[in-house]
A and B are shown apart, each in its own frame.
Chain A
Amino acid sequence: MEPGLEGPQLQFRSAEMGCAFDDFHGLISTPQLTAASSFTALLELAPPQAVELLVTEDFPAKQPPPPPPIFPTDIGLIHRASKFSVFASADNSLETNTILSVSNSLAVKQEELDADSRRNSYSPADSDQSLKSGKRKEREKKLKESNKKSKSKAANEPSDNGGAEELPYVHVRARRGQATDSHSLAERARREKINARMKLLQELVPGCNKISGTAMVLDEIINHVQALQRQVEFLSMRLAAVSPGIDFDLDSLFTVNGSSNDNSYSGMIAPPICTEGQLDGARQLQLQQLWHCDELQQPVWARETDTSNFIAPANSLLSYDSTSANSGKPFAPRCTTS
């Protein structure tokens, strides 16, 4: 065979091999005197492929093939993927995935994809079965990686838009070096869901952004929920002390409040009427401890301590009540602590 004919063949074959690509380039660029040696070099390096060389028929015009042949392999993979998943917007995601994966492959892994499409049309000889399957696995894994990146990109967008909503059903691909059985895949999907929700919680609870590690964040969340529940208790007690006749008093208060509900707190903290019951020292300390947990509300509460009054604990309440009931006035002077 003439070296001239072999030139394009060698070029084509080197593109297919991938691993010995540079070596082949070097071999091709050597002068024709060494054509025979290059052929033998080819033989040495990859005897099975050399056998193939003689077997195959489709030689003419072996430039990198036009894009269409690449599509079948990608679409095949994606169809297999789609069997396992149910997308919320199935058509759109499929399209985006094909587009993304195609763009990836075109940009980066064109040679390997050529090889894939080539290999699909071959009838493999027995001797090179193991070698080719090994290489195919490598390339499929690389493909899978690129596909996974594209899929995770496509899946992330709806999740970012959704925020606290339900994430659509996401098909998780096995990454290179990770287990591929269904159990661990489901585990991973579940873990990713949990991590997404933890991130949202971190944004919601103040002061959690700096903390790293889900355990500490959980602690903060628990503290926050406890603090909020305690605040509800105290506020309801306070409101109970503000007005004895809840029905009519609060009605007027509600109408006032409804208009000013949207204002900032600086407007709301007007010095309240100092006709409320007196503070109990211990209670005030307790409440201050509560406020330290919740940094957001701390400045607000600090302002209120000076002017507002709080309910005494249960023991003194009874004495307070009896005095108020007798006197008819809702608020009495400093109540005696038992």
Chain B
Amino acid sequence: MKARSSLEREFLEKWRKGLQIGKEDSTILERKDAIKLSADVAIAATKNAATHWRRALLCDVVSENPTNKHVVEHILGHKFKNTATRLTACSRRILRISQKRRQKAAPRRVVPKSRKRNRSRALRMLVPGGEEMDGVLLLQETLDYIVSLRAQVDVMRCLASIG
């Protein structure tokens, strides 16, 4: 598909950019971390980092290790602002309470709600930035996330099979 290959090409370019920075890594683990970091930042930088999960992923990367920030900025091409992308604890609580209230108004379903909520919670933990999304947005972001992950895996596999 044309759209997919353009996404893959964009990912490849950005990944290469990030890897060029890589300093001399001695251990395999360090190398693996550097590769994974560049790959994750690259896939988050595709499509101009517009979606929720992309921004959340970049935030996580930067907050995990501050030295990653220059990698992020090199790949992105512009300054990365860490602020105002994540909700505070208080606002997150408000969001969840309003979601619970909305769910109470709906009628009963065949599958007990608790199981569905567990599943949605599991999905939220998987998708970066998922805790702050409501049901509709979560599914949308999951869709985009799966597509991007697939592109990432495809490119990496191609590369791994060549070498």
Contact = CB atoms under 8 A, between A and B. Distances in A.
Contact of A194 (B32, B35, B136, B160): B136
A180 to B, nearest CB: 15
Interface in A246-293: 246-247, 249-251, 253-254, 256-258, 260-262, 268-270, 272-273
A257 B159 contact: yes
Interface stretch (A37-45, A87-95, A217-225): A217-225
A232 B163 contact: no
A229 B145 CA distance: 11
Interface in A184-225: 184, 187, 190-191, 193-194, 197-198, 200-201, 204-205, 213-215, 218-219, 221-222, 224-225
A228 interface: yes
Interface stretch (B63-71, B72-80, B117-125): B117-125
A332 B111 CA distance: 54
A215 B111 contact: yes
Contacts of A244: 31
B51 to A, nearest CB: 11
Nearest to B147: A204
Interface stretch (A7-15, A137-145, A149-157, A234-242): A234-242
A254 B156 contact: no
A221 B35 contact: no
Chain A interface, DSSP helix/strand/loop, else mixed = helix
B120 A304 contact: no
A70 interface: no
B160 A228 contact: no
B161 A304 contact: yes
A237 B160 CA distance: 10
A320 to B, nearest CB: 7
Contacts of A329: none
A294 B162 CA distance: 22
B156 A236 contact: yes
Nearest to A167: B136
A222 to B, nearest CB: 5
B163 A218 contact: no
A83 interface: no
B158 to A, nearest CB: 6
A302 interface: no
Interface of B: 5, 8-9, 12, 16, 19-20, 22, 25-29, 31-32, 34-36, 39-40, 102, 105-106, 110-111, 115-116, 119-120, 122-123, 126-127, 135-136, 139-140, 142-147, 149-150, 152-153, 155-163
20 contacts: A164-B140, A198-B139, A214-B116, A215-B116, A218-B116, A221-B146, A232-B36, A232-B39, A232-B40, A235-B153, A236-B36, A239-B160, A240-B28, A246-B22, A246-B25, A247-B22, A297-B157, A304-B161, A317-B29, A321-B27
Q: Which 7 A-B pairs have the closest CB atoms?
A: A240-B32, A240-B31, A197-B139, A235-B156, A236-B36, A228-B149, A242-B163
Given A201-B143, A218-B119, 13 more contacts: A215-B119, A221-B123, A221-B146, A225-B126, A236-B156, A237-B32, A239-B163, A247-B20, A250-B19, A258-B9, A317-B28, A318-B27, A325-B26
